[in-house]
Structure 1
Amino acid sequence: MNSSPSQPTSSPDPFIDSPFFRGFLFVLFLVLVATYVVLIDFTNEQQRAQPQGMSPQFHLLARYSVGLGQLAQMAAREGQGTDRILPVETRTQLVEQLLQVALTPDDRLRAVVVVAELQDPETARNILSGVREAEPPLEILNTADLLEAVYAEPVGTVNREALEERLGWYGKLAAGTHLVEDDPYRTQPRMAALSTCLMVIVWFMGLLATLGAGVVVSGFAMVQMRRGKLAFFQQALNLRLPKGRGAFMEAMVLFIWILLFSAMLPAWIPAAVRFMFLLLPVGWLVLRGLDRQQIILGVGLHAGKGIWREMACGALGYLAGVPLAMLGFALTFLIVGITGNQPSHPIVESFAGASWLDMLGLLVLVCGVAPLVEEILFRGIFYHYLRGTMGALMAALVSGFFFAVIHPQGLAAIPMLASIGMIFALIREWRGSLIGSMTAHALNNTIPVTLMFIMFH
């Protein structure tokens, strides 16, 4: 929709715009959000109390460390010395970090294998002793016996099949410890770790380049704002849509009800289907008698100045918001350092052990479905309502805060997610259309998803 649409002609129920009714709706919204946060936090607390599976953070650090070790060995074969790539101090720091994030008995066993690679078998056996002293389940003790046979002096019988079945890549890494350098069974897991290490380095360099470009674009945007050359369309749209805003708040209350309901749905219902349920609030606007044009403009479901131009502006807006995102990330890291609570997302665990087809489905969900649904709700329905009652910066802050709160990463992640939500809201304020913020949201989600592919490819 490139041309200016006509003024809506319908007259919604006047009660929708009653200040008392809208105040009641917002209080109800707060109560429902608080209920949802308590429910999710309680669920996450139970999961943390009974940790299962492999920590993605541990797995990435483990493969990266082993990959660095391989780079050091390749440098040694070229006569450059291992300390040039991986000094002793760095090896020690990697081991310490690895043991800090190895929270489960299974991860402690996996850490034994990596420590043997980075340092020596004797240190690995000391960690094994600590695992046994914790009186773990019989399965853990049996696996510890298998590793003890690998790192004992003299070396005992190595049960390759049992190690692989129990520890996967780590089992194969351990089983190949005493084989000759060019044995395929020994080189395969180590080359896989080297591939992960190199991809992490490339990913990190790409992230640094993105941050650098963001600082440049942000500076240019500030100069343009001071010169008055940046036009913001959302305020003009809101002034043209003065009626029926209470229905948008009703839709957000309905959204939280649906969110609470979806949290109790059976686990076998696909995540994409759950996301589709969340689009029902748009239908509520129709049921409440709002004009089609008012819904399109209020939610931002129009093409703005053209789809491709809006997408380009979304990418530029995302880069311009990098300094704000960096501030949010810094606050999150500060909270993590104080509380020790690491942000996490359930979908990260879905990548562990997923097939390529499953990973493709997760990519569509995280980078396609989630930006579509969440932008319609938070930068469409909710932001339109807030923008009618407060200024752009405050509306961006409030919508960003609630966007962060309903995500299951934990309270420590709120500053990080809120800053990102504010960036999306300011893009909506700038463009009026949701295409820009959807594009920025998809780009933002692509960054961690690519890291998940590197970890579990």
Structure 2
Amino acid sequence: MSRSFQIPNLMCYPRPMSDLPSEALQEVPPVPSRPAPLSPWVTAVCGAVAGAYLGFSVLTVSPSPLDRLDQPEESLERLVTREMDLRAALRQAPEWKKTLYATLSGGEDTLADVIAWYDELIGTGASPIAQLYRVVLVAEDGQTGRLNAALVPWEFQGEAAFRMGKWVRAGYLGSDLDREGARSLLMEIRSELPPGWFADTLAARVAAKLGDPTVQREAEAAIGARGAALLDRWIGLTVAQGVLLVLGIVALGGILRRRTAGAVGEAPLPPVWTAQDGYGLFVRGTLGFLLIGLVSTFLLPKESPYSGISTLAAGLPLVWWLHRYLSVRGLSLPETFGLTLPAGGLRRVAAATFVVIGLSVLGEVAITLVSGTLNYKPHWADGLLESILWGPPWLVACEVLDSVVWAPLIEELAFRGVLYATLRMTVGVWPAVGLSGAFFALVHGYGAVGFASVLWSGILWAVAYERTRSLLPAILGHMFNNLLVTTEFIWLLRL
């Protein structure tokens, strides 16, 4: 029976229905298959490993910021000497400089604050020099009873401590010294202490007791000159930020007058990937970043040039995953993230970037004013960049390159380009702005003020991406922000 049905069917088509030869029909290309999505199982494993790593880091990190520093004594000494030099210069500065500094700096730290910093440091087992610095600060604050109590043990702690005790007694407690003895103490102070506020202050106090106004004026003039230079640098940086704020306001006004949407690119939002693939890309890039950082920490000494290069290499896994994912779908990074500008787009990018920078400066000023009003002061070691403060020039160059160029590019691809765009698909625009900004701030590991600052930046850059359909304003704004922070740190603390 089966044969009787098949034979007529075959005989119905004695030749091809088309006029084309049968060979041409066989050459029709097959329909290309859709690229497979990222494996959710691999995403889950990568997420679990990255989460375990981050959780372990949080649980094992010391609650004291001092334990995160390699050179806490030297770093605190640099911070305090610059602070005290600046404070001395402010006492002689014009009123407008005093007002400007008091308004925008969040209020200066009191001597009690600085003494508390040294109390914490000495509690970890500091050197005799650090203990001397603390005693000098106590003496400058007029705490005579505490000063006497601190000097008593020094008589039994060796020759160096006994000698430093003589310096303090001569400068603050009126020890009887002849002229030769006082000059000998001045020579010891100059030869054994590094140049700076502590050495000059001790020398000025001893010279005042000795009745040598020339030495006293020289020491006080050195403090004033250093402080005046620092104050001028700070004002220069403040003026530069003020100019950026004005440019941002002008650019924003121009955009509002034209009533344009502000788009400068054509990045697709929602993105070209699914939510599952978006989270997969972010998790894979994050795990690669963490693993490269972990390997470099254990295998490379900090003095090695490769340690600086490894910081730059840590962002490559994300770029590789994005390139791989997009290329098999016929897409590229520039078109996916709006990095290719249409005609006339350069002016719109510049305007949007100045708006982002201006709002960033405005937010920083607001955070400073609010924290000052609440009398909340971050820990002095919070966010301290020791590698830039003490590192050799090659390491500083790597850190600056990473902070100003590479980190903004990688972080914007990760947190705005991938994470924000993916969250936008699942929770909506404004929740995605807040969540991506909060996670961005959280992973930086700063205190409350630092968290607020990074959160504001993350929110601002996500909104910029949403409004402009391009990552360029966010990347450039991020670069300018990090450039300002790095320049301020180097100019006020390293140089």
| Fold shared per TM-score above 0.5 | yes
Instruction: Provide the rounded CA distance (Å) in 2 between the counterparts of 1:240 and 1:61.
Output: 51
CA contact (8 A) 1:401 1:418 kept: yes
1:160 lines up with 2:193 in the alignment: no
61, 64, 69: which one aligns with 2:86: 64
Instruction: Provide the rounded CA distance (Å) in 1 between the counterparts of 2:239 and 2:197.
Output: 27
How far 1:160 moved relative to its partner?
Answer: 3.4
Per-residue CA deviations over 1:290-324 (Å, capped at 9, x if unaligned) read: 43753504763834345675355323222134555
Give 3-state SS (helix, strand or coil) of 1:54's partner.
Answer: helix
Q: 1:191 to 1:449 in 2, by over 3 A?
A: same
1:104 lines up with 2:108 in the alignment: no
Instruction: Provide the rounded CA distance (Å) in 2 between the counterparts of 1:199 and 1:363.
Output: 19
Larger radius of gyration: 2
How far 1:180 moved relative to its partner?
Answer: 0.9
Task: Give the length in aligned residue pairs.
Answer: 424
Q: 1:336 to 1:182 in 2, by over 3 A?
A: closer
Structure 1 counterpart of 2:431: 394
229, 246, 258: which one aligns with 2:261: 229
How far 1:440 moved relative to its partner?
Answer: 1.0
How far 1:436 moved relative to its partner?
Answer: 2.1
Structure with bigger RCO (C-alpha 8 Å, 6+ apart): 1
Structure 2 counterpart of 1:271: 308
CA contact (8 A) 2:201 2:219 kept: no
Structure 2 counterpart of 1:89: none
Instruction: Provide the rounded CA distance (Å) in 2 between the counterparts of 1:97 and 1:45.
Output: 16
CA contact (8 A) 2:267 2:336 kept: no
Give 3-state SS (helix, strand or coil) of 2:439's partner.
Answer: helix
Structure 1 counterpart of 2:37: 14
Instruction: Provide the rounded CA distance (Å) in 2 between the counterparts of 1:137 and 1:304.
Output: 70
Instruction: Provide the rounded CA distance (Å) in 2 between the counterparts of 1:367 and 1:380.
Output: 18
1:180 lines up with 2:214 in the alignment: yes
Q: 1:343 to 1:173 in 2, by over 3 A?
A: closer
CA contact (8 A) 1:25 1:253 kept: yes
Structure 2 counterpart of 1:313: 352
Structure 1 counterpart of 2:148: 129
Q: Which runs of 5+ in 2 are unaligned?
A: 1-31, 96-100, 103-107, 123-128, 208-212
How far 1:170 moved relative to its partner?
Answer: 2.8
CA contact (8 A) 1:128 1:144 kept: no
Give 3-state SS (helix, strand or coil) of 1:236's partner.
Answer: coil
Structure 2 counterpart of 1:409: 446
Structure 1 counterpart of 2:281: 248
CA contact (8 A) 2:388 2:396 kept: yes
Q: Which runs of 5+ in 1 are unaligned?
A: 1-8, 76-84, 87-91
241-250 or 269-278, larger mean C-alpha shift: 241-250
Counterparts of residues 185-224 of structure 1 (less than 5 Å)? 187-207=221-241, 210=244, 223=256
1:54 lines up with 2:75 in the alignment: yes
CA contact (8 A) 1:62 1:98 kept: no
Q: 1:158 to 1:218 in 2, by over 3 A?
A: farther
Give 3-state SS (helix, strand or coil) of 2:331's partner.
Answer: helix
CA contact (8 A) 2:417 2:471 kept: yes
Q: 1:130 to 1:10 in 2, by over 3 A?
A: farther
Structure 1 counterpart of 2:493: 455
Q: 1:93 to 1:262 in 2, by over 3 A?
A: closer
Instruction: Provide the rounded CA distance (Å) in 1 between the counterparts of 2:138 and 2:419.
Output: 50
How far 1:64 moved relative to its partner?
Answer: 0.9
Per-residue CA deviations over 1:94-140 (Å, capped at 9, x if unaligned) read: 43444344443555644665787xx69xx386664354368797656
Instruction: Provide the rounded CA distance (Å) in 2 between the counterparts of 1:115 and 1:33.
Output: 41
Instruction: Provide the rounded CA distance (Å) in 2 between the counterparts of 1:220 and 1:322.
Output: 19
1:170 lines up with 2:197 in the alignment: yes
Instruction: Provide the rounded CA distance (Å) in 2 between the counterparts of 1:141 and 1:218.
Output: 64
Structure 2 counterpart of 1:344: 382
Instruction: Provide the rounded CA distance (Å) in 1 between the counterparts of 2:338 and 2:260.
Output: 27
368-377 or 228-237, larger mean C-alpha shift: 228-237
Structure 1 counterpart of 2:409: 372
For 2:226, the aligned partner's letter is A
CA contact (8 A) 2:434 2:459 kept: yes
450, 464, 467: which one aligns with 1:430: 467
Q: 1:359 to 1:436 in 2, by over 3 A?
A: same
Instruction: Provide the rounded CA distance (Å) in 2 between the counterparts of 1:30 and 1:425.
Output: 24
CA contact (8 A) 1:367 1:442 kept: yes
Q: Superposition RMSD on alpha carbons, in Å?
A: 4.7
CA contact (8 A) 1:146 1:163 kept: no
CA contact (8 A) 1:214 1:321 kept: no
176-185 or 56-65, larger mean C-alpha shift: 176-185
CA contact (8 A) 1:375 1:434 kept: yes
Instruction: Provide the rounded CA distance (Å) in 2 between the counterparts of 1:292 and 1:327.
Output: 45
Percent of pairs identical after alignment? Answer: 17
For 2:262, the aligned partner's letter is L
Q: 1:181 to 1:46 in 2, by over 3 A?
A: closer
How far 1:233 moved relative to its partner?
Answer: 5.1
Q: 1:351 to 1:60 in 2, by over 3 A?
A: farther
